[in-house]
Amino acid sequence: MSTQKVAAELATEQTQLLTRKAAALRIDSVRATTAAGSGHPTSCASAAEIVSTLFFGVMRFDPRNPQADQNDIFLLSKGHAAPLLYAAWAEAGAFPRERLWTLRKFGSDLEGHPTPRLPFVPVATGSLGQGLSAAAGIALNARSFEQTGQRVYVLLGDGEAAEGSVWEAAGWAAHHQLDNLCVTVDVNGLGQSQPTMLRHNMDAHVARWSAFGWNVIVVDGHSPSQLLGAYRSALRTRGRPTVVLARTIKGKGLPGIEGDEHWHGRALDANRAEKVIAELSRLMGDSLMEWEPSIRIEGRGPEPLHVQRSLESFEPPYQPRTDVASTREAFGSALAAIGARTESIVVVDGDVKNSTYTGEFEKVAPQRFLQGYIAEQNMVGVAMGLAARRKVPFVATFACFLTRAYDFLRMAAISGLNVKIVGTHAGVSIGEDGPSQMGLEDLAMMCAEPGFTVLYPSDATSAWRATALIAAHEGPCYLRLGRPAVPVLYEASEHFAIGECKVLRKSEADRALIVAAGVTVFEALAAYDQLKREGITVRVIDLFSISPIDAAELKASAWASGGIVITVEDHYRHGGLGDAVLNALSRERLMIHKLAVTGISRSGNASELLSEAGISAAHIAAAVKAAVTAIPSGGTQ
Please list the alpha-helical segments (H only) found in 358-486.
359-364, 376-388, 406-415, 442-448, 460-472
Is there a contact between 352 and 483 (Cβ–Cβ < 8 Å)? no
Q: For residue 471, how far is the Cα from the chain centroid? A: 16
The whole-angstrom separation of Cα 469 and Cα 466 is 5
Neighbour count for residue 551 (Cβ, 10 Å)? 18
Specify the 3-state DSSP secondary structure of 271: helix
Closest by CA to 53, choosing from 12, 93, 13, 15, is 15
434 contact partners, CB below 8 Å, separation of at least 6: 601, 602, 603
The whole-angstrom separation of Cα 123 and Cα 76 is 9
Active site residue 274: no
Specify the 3-state DSSP secondary structure of 261: coil
Catalytic pick from 91, 376, 441, 569?
376
Specify the 3-state DSSP secondary structure of 296: coil
Write the single-letter amino acid at 318.
Y
The phi, psi pair for 424, rounded to 5°, reads -100, 175
Is there a contact between 29 and 45 (Cβ–Cβ < 8 Å)? yes
The whole-angstrom separation of Cα 416 and Cα 125 is 13
DSSP one-letter string for 111-157: -SS--TTSTT-SS---STT-HHHHHHHHHHIIIIII-----EEEEEE
Checking 275-278 for CB contacts under 8 A at 24+ apart, the result is 276/30, 277/27, 277/30, 277/31
Is there a contact between 55 and 184 (Cβ–Cβ < 8 Å)? no
Regarding beta strands 152-157 and 73-76, do their DSSP bridges make them parallel or antiparallel, or are they unpaired? parallel
Catalytically annotated residues: 376
